Amino acid sequence: MGLFGPLKPLHRAEEDGKALAKTLSWPHLMALGIGGIIGTGIYTLTGVGAGLAGPGVILSFAICGLVCACAALAYTEMATLIPTAGSAYTYTYSAIGEIAGWVVGWALILEYSLACSSVAVGWSAHLVGWLEEGVGLHLPAFLLNGPHAGGLVNLPAVLVSLAVMGLLLIGARESATINIILVIIKIVALGAFIFLGLPAIQAGNYDPFAPYGFIGQQMGGEKVGIMAAAAIVFFAFFGFDAVSTSAEEAKNPARDLTVGIIGSMVVSTIIYMLVAGVAVGVAPFREIADSAEPLPHILRSIGYPLVASLVGMAAIVALPSVILVMMYGQSRIFFVMARDGLLPAFVAKVNSKGSPALITLLTGIFVAIFAGFVPLKEIAALSNAGTLIAFIAVALSMIILRHKMPHAVRTFKTPLYWLVGLVAIGGCGFIFYSLPIQSQLFTLIWMCIGLGVYFSYGFWHSRLRKEETSSAE
C-alpha cells in the first residue's frame, strides 16, 4: 500500500473474458501514432497558433516537439515495462498508487474525448470550406455552428464522430488497417503543401518573428506569445500516447511499442516543422489566423485552387483517423478502469472480436455531443490540460520505478532518464501555466468532480483494494 493507495502489480493476470485480443503489429502502431499526431493540430490550429505568436509559432511547435519527445521516451520505457492496456493510468497506478492513477485516468477523459471532439469540429470546418470553395454548395449556417456562434448544432461534427464510433465497433485490427490508408493520404497532402509552398515564401513575412514576445502578455482578454501558442498547438503533438493504450493488443510489445511511439514522433515532428515554416513564410500570420482551414487558404492565395481543393479533400478524408485513434484510446482507458473495479464492471465486457463495444458506444455519444455544441479553441485547450497532467505523471512514474525497481526487465531504457524526465515534467508544467486561465480553472473543477466520483464509487469497488483487504484478514 503506497501513500496514494494500493500499487498495481506491473504484470497482472487478467480475468478470463476481459483480456483484449493481440492483433496489432508495429506498422499498425506506427500508423496509429502518426494518425493520432498529424491532424487538426497542423491542418487547423496552425492558424490559431500563428494568431497568438506570429511567425514565432515555428518555435512554439519546436518547444512542444522537444517536450513531447521527452514524454515519448518515458512512455516507451513504461509501455515496454508494463505491456498492458491503460497507458498513463496504468503506469501511475503501478508507480504511485490507486488515487493518483484515478486522477490521471480522469484527466485522460479530457485528453481523448475532447481531442476527438475538437478534431470533429476541425473536420467540419474543412468540409464546409471545401463544399463552398470547391463545389459552390452552401449549407445552412444553423447546422454548422453550435449555440456559441448563433447556430443550433455543428451537425457534420456530430455525424463524423458517430461514423468513427461505428468503425471502431467493427474491431481493432480492421480499424487500424483503414487508419494506415488514411495516414498515407494525410502525409501526401502535407507533402504537396510543402513542395508548392516553398518557392512562394517571402522572407519579410518572418519579420517580426515574435511580435508578442516569448512568455507573452494579456491581449484582448487572452494570453498571447510563443508560449501561449505552444499551450494551444501542443494539441498537435499528442497522439503517440494512444499507441501505449494498445500495449495489450500488440503481438510483440517490446519491438512494436518502441517503433510505434518513437517512430511516429520523429516522422510527425519533422512534418510539423516544415509545414509551420512554409505556412508563416508564404502568408502574413494575421491572414492565416483568420482562416478555419489555413493550408487550403494559403494554396488558393498562391494560385493553386485545384491543389487547395485536393488538400482540403485529403483533410476531409483523413482527419477522421485522428478521431479514430483518440476514441480508440479513450475506450481502452475506460475499459481498464472498469476492469480494475474503479468503474462499473459491465463497462469492461468485450465482444466476440475482443473489443470493448459498450464503452466505445458511450464514448462516441459523449464525443458527438461536445463536438456539436462547443467551439474548437476551448475544446483544444481543455484537452491539452488533460494531456499535460498525463505526461507529467508518466515521466514521474518512470523516475520512481527506476529507483524502486532498478533491476526490472526493460526492453527499452530511456537514456539520461532523470534529465529526460525532468524536462518532460518541467516543460509540461510551464505549458500548463501558459494555458488560458478559464481552462486551468475548469480542469481544477473537473479534477474535484473526479475525486468525488472516486471516493463515492471507485474506492469501495476497487478490485485491488478488496484483494489486499481480504489477504490482510
What 3 state SS string does 59-73 have?
Answer: HHHHHHHHHHHHHHH
Distances (CA, A) of 209 to 29, 54, 206: 37, 7, 5
Which segment of 15-19, 61-65, 202-206, 240-244 scores lowest on mean pLDDT?
15-19
| Res 17: pLDDT | 46
Domain-by-domain residue ranges, the chain? 28-463
**Helix (H/G/I), strand (E/B), else coil: 364:** helix
Mean pLDDT (whole number) for 192-214: 89
- Other CB atoms within a 10 A radius of the CB of residue 215 amount to 13
How many distinct helices (H) and strands (E) make up the chain? 21, 2
So what's the pLDDT on residue 175?
62
Nearest in space to 373 (alpha carbons), one of 97, 144, 215: 144
Higher per-residue pLDDT: 328 or 174: 328
Mean pLDDT of 278-283: 90
pLDDT of amino acid 16: 42
% pLDDT > 70, the chain: 87
Question: What's the Rg (C-alpha) of the chain?
Answer: 21
Q: pLDDT at position 15, please? A: 45
pLDDT at 13 over 60: no
Phi-psi region of 349 (alpha: psi -120 to 50; beta: other; left: phi over 0): beta
CA dist., res. 159 & res. 176, Å (int): 20
Cis amide leading into 55 (omega within 30): no
- Cα dihedral sign, 157-160-166-169: negative
DSSP string for residues in 2-26: BTTBPPPPSS-PPPTT-S----B-H
* Pairwise CA distance, residues 239 & 244, whole Å: 10
Query: Which residues have a Cβ under 8 Å from the Cβ of 18 and sit 6 or more positions away?
Result: 339, 348, 349, 350
Q: Which of 4-13, 129-138, 307-316, 380-389 has the lowest mean pLDDT?
A: 4-13
The answer on pLDDT for 317 being more than 90 is: no
The residues near 450 (Cβ < 8 Å, ≥ 6 apart) are 102, 103, 106, 107
pLDDT at 105: 92
| CA proximity to 163, closest of 368, 22, 19 | 368
- Is the pLDDT at 417 greater than 90? The verdict is yes
- Is 28-463 assigned to CATH 1.20.1740.10? yes
N-term to C-term CA, the chain: 15
Side-chain half-sphere exposure of 409, counting CA atoms within 13 A: 4
**pLDDT above 80 for 460:** yes
Residue with more model confidence, 381 or 187: 187
Question: Phi and psi dihedrals of 154, rounded to 5?
Answer: -85, 85
Q: What is the pLDDT of residues 341-397, one digit of tens each?
A: 999 887 767 766 666 778 888 888 888 988 888 776 677 677 788 888 999 999 999
Distance CA 52, CA 289 (A): 8
Whether 320 has a pLDDT exceeding 50, the answer reads yes
Residue located via cell numbers 485552387: 305
Round the average pLDDT of the chain to a whole number and report it: 82
pLDDT band at 248 (very low <50, low <70, confident <90, very high): low
Closest CA to 329 of 125, 176, 472: 176
Q: Which residue has the cell 488533460?
A: 386
C-alpha to C-alpha distance for 382 and 398, rounded to whole angstroms: 25
pLDDT score for 82: 83
Chain segment 124-181, per-residue pLDDT in tens: 887 887 788 767 788 888 888 778 777 789 999 999 999 888 877 776 556 666 767 8
Nearest to 62 by CA among 217, 224, 262, 275: 275
